[in-house]
Amino acid sequence: MMALVILAFIVFLLMGIPISLVLGMTTIVYFLVTGNTMLLESTPQRLYSGMENFGLLAIPLFMLTGELMNSGGITNRLVVFARMLVGHVRGGLAYVTVIANMFLASILGSANAQAAMMSKVMVPEMEKEGYSREFSSALTLASSIVAPIIPPSMIFIIYGTLSGTSIGGLFMAGIIPGTIFGVGFVSLIAYLGYKHNFPRSERASLSAIFDSFLKVLPAILVPFVITVGILSGAFTATESAAVASVIAFIVGMFFYKELKWKSLSKILVNTVIGTATVTFLIAMANLFGWLIAFEQIPQLIANSMLSISDNPFVFLLLVNIFLLLIGTLLDGIAALIILVPVLMPLVTGFNIDPIHFGVIICINLTIGLLTPPVGTGLFIVSSIAEVKFERLIKAVTPMLLIGIAMLFIVTYWEQTTLFIPRLLGF
């Protein structure tokens, strides 16, 4: 019976049906095939109960913050400021792409949104300076994966909600790993720049750098308030999203004066659509999680892994390999919602810190944006930058390998994730 359900899941995926619908349809097929039709009566309640969590309120609020900051002129100012700092060195515009992505990560928290935005901004600029379109697109995509790692992060919010882990602690845990990823990509650019003689821009004067810093300062206020507010206990991670939205509105409307009243309707519609997409996926994945629990799949996986080894280092290696493979097939958020209830008992059994594990699983599933056949980031950038899919895959491969290397550093060097949270009492 279960084999038939798995077959239905695979067939639905191959048909190109959205993953949210695949999860719900597979669950209904399971009920029908196994004869548990009475469970269909509880299905609406199960869908609704999956959304009853205060922490999920942060998702639409952070999405609103990102929309307000985008419309308020923040992107261009961040790119200009990054270019002032490092544009004059060899491969300067490539460094700008990485640094600007790290700046934006503290505002957007969504790798797909960031990849789409930066593809429009940076790929044409890099191509003008002599970089190949394939390399420009690949670098823009790869460096966007820091978005879900540097706080605030939507994927951390979902993991924290599912696992009962402190969202504030997860936010703080992402700071050092996000920086490590940035350093990894910068090192790759330095090597490629020396090898291929990348172009450089003119050095900006100190007065121009200072002027650019003053212009970007109000934008940096948003992540600063979020971080300080959470650390000081002034508000929770969810409340910080509401505060960030207000600050983003004030900065865009009154400081930069690029946010217009007439654009607010479009901003709100985009926020609602984005929120609805994510929450519908969460609801359907919660329903699918019901199927997994009913079949006792978490216990089966736990027993299988424990039979291989009781060493936590081996367990983390197996989890990384498993998650990297899952990331090639499933959307990151869907995989997170399905797998967290499965893996958390094992995490507890191996005495692994849930904050540390949260960063590991989130990085794994974010790397999935770069991996075919279902890497959504590849499709987004390929479409926007007008690069052939297969060429983009080839160009992004070295950056994917760098990302995996950084993942293993974070996995086996626990202090990269836990130093700041422990320092702050999480």
Condensed to tens digits (0 to 9), the pLDDT of residues 320-331 reads: 888 887 777 666
Q: Is residue 11 part of a domain?
A: no
Q: Which carries the bigger pLDDT value, residue 94 or residue 5? A: 94
Averaged pLDDT, 17-40: 77
**Is the pLDDT at 88 greater than 80, yes or no?**
no
Return the structure tokens found at 410.
């974070």
HEC string of the chain equals CHHHHHHHHHHHHHCCCCHHHHHHHHHHHHHHHHCCHHHHHHHHHHHHHCCCCHHHHHHHHHHHHHHHHHHCCHHHHHHHHHHHHHCCCCCHHHHHHHHHHHHHHCCCCCHHHHHHHHHHHHHHHHHHCCCCHHHHHHHHHHHHHHCCCCCCCHHHHHHHHHHCCCHHHHHHHCHHHHHHHHHHHHHHHHHHHHHHCCCCCCCCCHHHHHHHHHHHHHHHHHHHHHHHHHHHCCCCHHHHHHHHHHHHHHHHHHHCCCCCHHHHHHHHHHHHHHHHHHHHHHHHHHHHHHHHHHCCHHHHHHHHHHHHCCCHHHHHHHHHHHHHHHHCCCCHHHHHHHHHHHHHHHHHHCCCCHHHHHHHHHHHHHHHHHCCCCCHHHHHHHHHHCCCHHHHHHHHHHHHHHHHHHHHHHHHCCHHHHHHHHHCCC
**Is the pLDDT at 390 greater than 60, yes or no?**
yes
Q: Which carries the bigger pLDDT value, residue 182 or residue 277? A: 182
Model confidence at 355, pLDDT cuts 50, 70, 90, reads very high
pLDDT of res. 252: 82
pLDDT of res. 13: 72
Are 349 and 112 in contact by the 8 Å Cβ rule? The answer is no
Averaged pLDDT, 399-405: 89
pLDDT of res. 131: 81
Are 65 and 240 in contact by the 8 Å Cβ rule? The answer is no
User: How many Å apart are CA 71 and CA 401, to the nearest integer?
Assistant: 34
Q: Could you tell me what percent of the chain has a pLDDT over 70?
A: 86
Q: Which carries the bigger pLDDT value, residue 1 or residue 175? A: 175
Are 64 and 245 in contact by the 8 Å Cβ rule? The answer is yes
Q: Is residue 49 part of a domain?
A: no
pLDDT of res. 87: 66
Task: Determine which of 20-34, 39-53, 399-413 has the lowest per-residue pLDDT on average.
Answer: 39-53
Model confidence at 163, pLDDT cuts 50, 70, 90, reads confident
Longest pairwise C-alpha distance within the chain: 74
Model confidence at 354, pLDDT cuts 50, 70, 90, reads very high
Give the residue numbers spanning the domain of 316: 54-423
The number of folded domains in the chain is 1
Q: Is residue 331 part of a domain?
A: yes
Q: Is residue 13 part of a domain?
A: no
| Most confident segment among 95-104, 290-299, 328-337, 373-382 | 95-104
User: How many Å apart are CA 285 and CA 291, to the nearest integer?
Assistant: 10
Q: Is residue 384 part of a domain?
A: yes
Provide the residue type at 287 as one letter: L
Model confidence at 54, pLDDT cuts 50, 70, 90, reads low
Task: Determine which of 137-146, 216-225, 245-254 has the lowest per-residue pLDDT on average.
Answer: 216-225
Are 360 and 407 in contact by the 8 Å Cβ rule? The answer is yes
Q: Could you tell me what percent of the chain has a pLDDT over 90?
A: 4
CA atoms within 13 A on the CB side of 396: 31
Averaged pLDDT, 311-319: 86
Are 267 and 65 in contact by the 8 Å Cβ rule? The answer is no
**Is the pLDDT at 375 greater than 70, yes or no?**
no
**Is the pLDDT at 263 greater than 80, yes or no?**
yes
Provide the residue type at 188 as one letter: L
Backbone angles phi, psi at 152, to 5 degrees: -80, 150
Averaged pLDDT, 30-55: 72
**Is the pLDDT at 109 greater than 60, yes or no?**
no
Q: Is residue 24 part of a domain?
A: no
pLDDT of res. 106: 61
Model confidence at 411, pLDDT cuts 50, 70, 90, reads very high
Averaged pLDDT, 51-63: 70
* pLDDT per position as a tens digit, 220-241: 777 777 777 766 777 776 777 7
**Is the pLDDT at 103 greater than 80, yes or no?**
no
Q: Is the pTM of this model over 0.75?
A: no
pLDDT of res. 55: 61
Are 110 and 147 in contact by the 8 Å Cβ rule? The answer is yes
At a CB cut-off of 8 Å and minimum separation 6, what does 28 contact?
A: 40, 43
Model confidence at 342, pLDDT cuts 50, 70, 90, reads confident
Distances (CA, A) of 354 to 39, 164, 291: 32, 9, 24
At a CB cut-off of 8 Å and minimum separation 6, what does 45 contact?
A: none
Q: Is residue 321 part of a domain?
A: yes
Q: Is residue 2 part of a domain?
A: no
User: How many Å apart are CA 240 and CA 103, to the nearest integer?
Assistant: 18
User: How many Å apart are CA 178 and CA 423, to the nearest integer?
Assistant: 18
* pLDDT per position as a tens digit, 200-223: 767 777 787 788 788 777 777 777
**Is the pLDDT at 298 greater than 70, yes or no?**
no
**Is the pLDDT at 392 greater than 90, yes or no?**
no
User: How many Å apart are CA 216 and CA 74, to the nearest integer?
Assistant: 7
